[in-house]
Homo-oligomer: A and B are copies of this chain.
Amino acid sequence: MNPDMDKILLFGDSITQYSSDQDLTFALAPALQHLYQRKMDILVRGYSGYNTDQAVQFFHHILEHEKGIKLVVIFFGSNDSATNEQHVPLDRYKANLEKLAQQAVDRGIKVILTGPAPHDELARREMFKDEPGVNPRSSQLQKRYSEAACEVALKMGLPSTNLWHAFATDAGWEPGMPFPSTVEGEGNEHETSVTKYLKDGLHFAGPGYKVWYDELVKVIGERYPGLSAENLPMVMPLWREFYGTS
């Protein structure tokens, strides 16, 4: 009769930090918490604006402080791939992700790596129409960083979720078509839009978190079936069985 709960850690930037916001109609963290009720805790560690240069400096501390972390979802790249002062060059992004993943692996913690989703240039242009300037983000850069995260995972034998591909595919995009929601693609007959997945062109709306949730649950089932909610027993006996009778 042990009430201890193991944990799934969500580690990332603002998209992780805001992942409990029900006003979006669907939020990732509570969806996982509901799925894993009486089975695992979902621990949210998201830091708005952070890149992997910052993450590598304190991730180990979280792993040492919290008991029972069995799985960590590492999701960075939306800031690393920006061309402003948040930028981390692609090679260093990959090296940082590898460091983060290795710190978890060394502690026996399972890992899922995730790079950035698409960017909605058209939504950002609308948002910042009164503040003209260079948008530091693009779907093209985010796609490269997303693929880089998958390459790091492949090299380390770890699973990954490619949210760029998942969002774009769900929106009807296919390779060879203009990138979704880009200035270049605007008005093109094969144009696709990822607007509904993003609330401001960058942060996730409900449908974006839902795609991420579906991808996560799928990859856990495929690669870590022992951590799949359906395969985990409930913590503590059912009330009728509590006293050893049924």
Is A47 close to B, CB under 8 A? Answer: yes
Closest to A49 in B: B239
Describe A's contact surface by its main secondary structure: loop
* A66 CB contacts on chain B under 8 angstroms: 67
* CB of A214 to closest CB in B, whole Å: 15
Q: Is the CB–CB distance between B27 and A58 below 8 Å? A: no
Q: Is the CB–CB distance between A22 and B30 below 8 Å? A: yes
Tell me how many chains of this kind the complex includes: 2
In the bound complex, CA of A22 to CA of B209 (Å): 13
Q: Is the CB–CB distance between A27 and B37 below 8 Å? A: no
Q: Is the CB–CB distance between A239 and B33 below 8 Å? A: no
Q: Is the CB–CB distance between A62 and B239 below 8 Å? A: no
Binary CB contact string for chain A from 46 to 74 against chain B (1 if under 8 A, 0 otherwise): 11111100100110011001110000000
Is A222 close to B, CB under 8 A? Answer: no
Is A246 close to B, CB under 8 A? Answer: no
Q: Is the CB–CB distance between A29 and B33 below 8 Å? A: yes
Instruction: Pick out which of these stretches binds chain B: A1-9, A124-132, A191-199.
Output: A1-9
* CB of A72 to closest CB in B, whole Å: 13
In the bound complex, CA of A45 to CA of B31 (Å): 16
* A240 CB contacts on chain B under 8 angstroms: 49
Q: Is the CB–CB distance between A37 and B49 below 8 Å? A: no
In the bound complex, CA of A240 to CA of B49 (Å): 8
With contacts A4-B65, A67-B67 known, what are 4 further pairs, Cβ within 8 A? A1-B57, A3-B58, A20-B34, A49-B240
- Rank and list the top 3 A-B pairs by shortest CB-CB distance, nearest first: A49-B239, A30-B30, A20-B33
5 contacts between A and B (CB under 8 A): A20-B33, A22-B34, A27-B30, A49-B239, A58-B236
